[in-house]
Structure 1
Amino acid sequence: MKKLIVTLVVALITFFGYNSLNAQNMKKEEVPQNISAFPIGEENVGFKQYFTGESWLARLTSNKDLNVPMSNVTFEPGCRNNWHSHTGGQILIAVGGVGYYQERGKASRRLLPGDVVEIAPNIEHWHGAAPDSWFSHLAIECNPQTNKNTWLERVSDQQYAEATKDNVATGLKATDSELDGIFGNFTKEVQEYGDLDTKTRLMVTLASNIASQAQAEYRITLESALNEGITPIEVKEILYQAVAYAGMAKVRDFIGLTNGILLARGVRLPLEGQSVVSSETRFDKGLELQKSIFGERIEQMHKNAPENQKHIQRYLSANCFGDYQTRSGLNVKTRELITFSILVSLGGCESQIKGHIQGNVNVGNNKDTLLAVVTQLLPYIGYPRTLNAIACLNEVIPEK
């Protein structure tokens, strides 16, 4: 039986080639162009009620004389089907991305291309994509004359999070277990330093991951953040804040990534707006917030700027602070910690780091808190940027 299946798969690969992605109901730029050798097909509307998140279905066989129904099913990140069973059993062959399979009452199994899952008749199970990866598998129906599906309850967010908690986007645990152990142990070690609560640790790490362009780490951190109760609005405000300090070129991909994960969790987009300014008030409210954080020296910055550079000071007040930092969704203390985390992670921003260290102190974040943030970020940004940040801390707030 296995020899027949492998032969069929090889034949299908030859037939379809590597130019066969043709999802008709999704924007071209959103479709992974090389997830596997098989077509994505069309949106899986017939089974949509049995899936959490979006999926696509491509029927691969049609010859009734062969009697081997085979389809390629593609899942967006975080998508999975409900618990279900087949009276005649099923065979899955992973062909692209990273996925998971789990039988009722057993540990989950991580799936990489080439993995084969043999599902016995009437075994309750689910399968789908990893939180941070698209996933495609071939689904082969066994005993098709009598095989019937029984669809059961959805896989809850808690069940899914538990099943995928050891997921690493790059397959680190499977391919580099020693490094995975070293890194994992150290991230736990730095969490023992300082008094940051779990929510703050996750929020500053999200901000740092954006600045570092660390999409894989961001996905992992975002799943943990949402599981810990950080709200979609708080996540979006971290992203929006990052636009002012890291630039849209660095942030746009993370907005799309975040939207995919939120949609997979059933969050309706767009979220409620958080802006509190208008085109008429953005400068005044931004300037007011600037002064409340940094004091009257802001007036001197406007006054002393050369004529050909005064527009930058206006932008800082109206755009950086007016458009972004006046927004609701995060309080001022949290926003200053987010900004500090972004600047530390970008590197080369020591002058701005020093200014925002003082800003953090002015809004109530003391040196112990800032040192705990830097320590939390150490595994993600490395020692040089960490030591630079600590040097800035010691210069602005000398040790007693």
Structure 2
Amino acid sequence: MNKEVKFTDKGTLAPAEHFTGTAWVHINVAPGEGYHTIVGTVAFEPMARTNWHVHQTGQILMVTNGTGYYQEEGEPIRLIKEGDVIKIGKNVNHWHGGSMYQSMTHIAIVTDLDRGKTIWGVPVKDEDYSSYTAAASNVENYLTSAAIKNHEDLWPNYVSKLQVTDPELIEIFDNWAFDEVYAKSELDIQTRTIITLASTIGTQSLAEFSMFVKAALNVGVSPAVIKEVVYQSVAYVGVAKGIDFLNTTNEIFKANGIALPLEGQMTTTPENREAKGLELMKATFGERIDQMRNEAPQDLQHIQYFLAANCFGDYYTRKGMDIKMRELVTYAVLVSMGGAESQVDGHIKGNLNVGNNRATLIAVTTQLLPYIGYPRTLNALSAINKLTLETE
């Protein structure tokens, strides 16, 4: 036991008999205050950790800063990060602490102290602590905390093979795409994931699409919305390019126990699809739709019919996504395809008309930059500047 008890603004130095390395404990709520509960803030320096131990009444950990490790007996070590809540069952043997290269702070809560106690065990051996996947440990060494956290939000406990074979590229890309780009594109996590998913269809990137279907499920995007992204894209990339993405979606859904087919989302009938589609086209693009239809040559009138009945009547009128999200999805697909500049212009105007302003379009384009590259991004931003500076 520590003979000298040290106290700083972090709290009291954790006792060496129960901890390896340097950790600090600050008691927020003590049992003597009339509660059978103890609440403490524990700050671990890198590589610091608790001994193996058991709480007879269980424990809750809430990570408030940094990145750390958590392990239950018989299970692999888990990477835990700011925002994570770990619920530890009664009599579960476990340990927790800072990660190899980063500190970690959590709030620890143990209740019902009158019904059980904490039983401390042996220290975690260095070789066991260091057994956490080499690639994951290395990635902590060169990725920022924000990059790790944002990547983990999408793909918990995922370790890329590229982290082993191409660590320099991962350092460049992940710190940029999952830290700097996030900071400059204020989007909620579901919107960010949906528009990136749509973009991968536009770039015909099936492997990355598969990753983002899984990410979408991980962040709570419904299967219906994921399917609507795929269906919507068919109107723009064509079914020949869309079919592989649909099949991949179905495979991932089945692997996750999602029954197919999903509940239908159609809202039109063969009789009213043109009228409903045309109504939505006018609501999105204004009365110029009538001019466009009237001025089309006679031998192209069928295309105007298809735009109303099929593109808008069959797809845009569906449930699952509202018009604001559908326009963002369409914009994401179009700017990612390249070669569709006039359509990008039209759908920037459509986005503005349905309530997606310049700031939203810039945020979406910024999010897509890592996946579509600078030329297509700069083209899209040029169009946004031209059209929004004229109208706002």
- How would you bin the TM-score normalised by the shorter chain? 0.5 to 0.7
Instruction: Indicate which of 188, 193, 203 corresponds to 1:197.
Output: 188
Per-residue deviation at 1:103? Answer: 9.1
Give the letter for the 2:74 counterpart: R
Q: Partner of 1:239 in structure 2?
A: 230
Q: Partner of 1:381 in structure 2?
A: 372
Q: Partner of 1:337 in structure 2?
A: 328
Partners in 1 of 2:155 and 2:273 — Cα distance?
Answer: 41
The answer to whether 1:172 aligns with 2:162 is yes
Partners in 1 of 2:236 and 2:358 — Cα distance?
Answer: 22
SS in 1 for 2:226: helix
Alignment of 1:122-141 (within 5 A): none
Q: Partner of 1:77 in structure 2?
A: none
Give the letter for the 2:174 counterpart: G
SS in 2 for 1:266: coil
Q: Partner of 1:224 in structure 2?
A: 215
Give the letter for the 1:287 counterpart: L
The answer to whether 1:105 aligns with 2:75 is yes
Partners in 2 of 1:320 and 1:166 — Cα distance?
Answer: 40
SS in 1 for 2:183: coil
Per-residue deviation at 1:174? Answer: 2.3
Partners in 2 of 1:277 and 1:374 — Cα distance?
Answer: 32
Instruction: Indicate which of 260, 265, 269 corresponds to 1:278.
Output: 269
Which segment is superposed worse, 367-376 or 181-190? 181-190
Q: Deviations over 1:310-349 (max 9, x none)?
A: 1111100000000001000000000000000011000011
SS in 2 for 1:397: helix
Does the CA contact (< 8 Å) of 1:211 and 1:250 recur in 2? no
Does the CA contact (< 8 Å) of 1:333 and 1:365 recur in 2? yes
Per-residue deviation at 1:290? Answer: 0.3
Q: TM-score, length-normalised on structure 1?
A: 0.59
Q: Partner of 2:243 in structure 1?
A: 252
Partners in 2 of 1:161 and 1:172 — Cα distance?
Answer: 15
Partners in 1 of 2:74 and 2:206 — Cα distance?
Answer: 32
User: Gaps (5+ residues) in structure 1?
Assistant: 1-101, 109-157
Alignment of 1:87-98 (within 5 A): none
Partners in 1 of 2:389 and 2:327 — Cα distance?
Answer: 20
Give the letter for the 1:199 counterpart: Q
Per-residue deviation at 1:161? Answer: 5.6
Give the letter for the 1:301 counterpart: M
Which segment is superposed worse, 366-375 or 247-256? 247-256
Give the letter for the 2:184 counterpart: Y
Partners in 1 of 2:307 and 2:209 — Cα distance?
Answer: 28
Alignment of 1:314-329 (within 5 A): 314-329=305-320
Q: Partner of 2:62 in structure 1?
A: none
Q: Structure 1 residues 337, 270: CA separation in 2 closer, same or farther (over 3 Å shift)?
A: same
Partners in 2 of 1:195 and 1:297 — Cα distance?
Answer: 32
Partners in 1 of 2:351 and 2:290 — Cα distance?
Answer: 19
Partners in 2 of 1:196 and 1:369 — Cα distance?
Answer: 8
Q: Deviations over 1:97-148 (max 9, x none)?
A: xxxxx9932248xxxxxxxxxxxxxxxxxxxxxxxxxxxxxxxxxxxxxxxx
Partners in 2 of 1:174 and 1:200 — Cα distance?
Answer: 30
The answer to whether 1:362 aligns with 2:332 is no
The answer to whether 1:162 aligns with 2:156 is yes
Partners in 1 of 2:204 and 2:73 — Cα distance?
Answer: 36
Q: TM-score, length-normalised on structure 2?
A: 0.60
Structure with bigger gyration radius: 2
> Which 4+ stretches in 1 moved above 4 angstroms?
none
Q: Partner of 2:383 in structure 1?
A: 392
Partners in 2 of 1:172 and 1:297 — Cα distance?
Answer: 50
Per-residue deviation at 1:182? Answer: 1.2
User: Gaps (5+ residues) in structure 2?
Assistant: 1-71, 79-151
Instruction: Indicate which of 163, 175, 183 corresponds to 1:185.
Output: 175
What CA RMSD, in Å, does the superposition of the two structures yield over aligned residues?
2.2
Partners in 1 of 2:206 and 2:77 — Cα distance?
Answer: 27
Partners in 1 of 2:181 and 2:388 — Cα distance?
Answer: 22
Which segment is superposed worse, 188-197 or 361-370? 188-197
Taking every aligned residue pair, what percent have the same amino acid on both sides? 51
Per-residue deviation at 1:195? Answer: 2.3
Partners in 2 of 1:330 and 1:231 — Cα distance?
Answer: 10
SS in 2 for 1:183: helix
The answer to whether 1:305 aligns with 2:299 is no
Q: Deviations over 1:234-293 (max 9, x none)?
A: 000000000001111111101111111111111000000101111111100000000111
Give the letter for the 1:323 counterpart: D
Alignment of 1:46-61 (within 5 A): none
Alignment of 1:53-92 (within 5 A): none
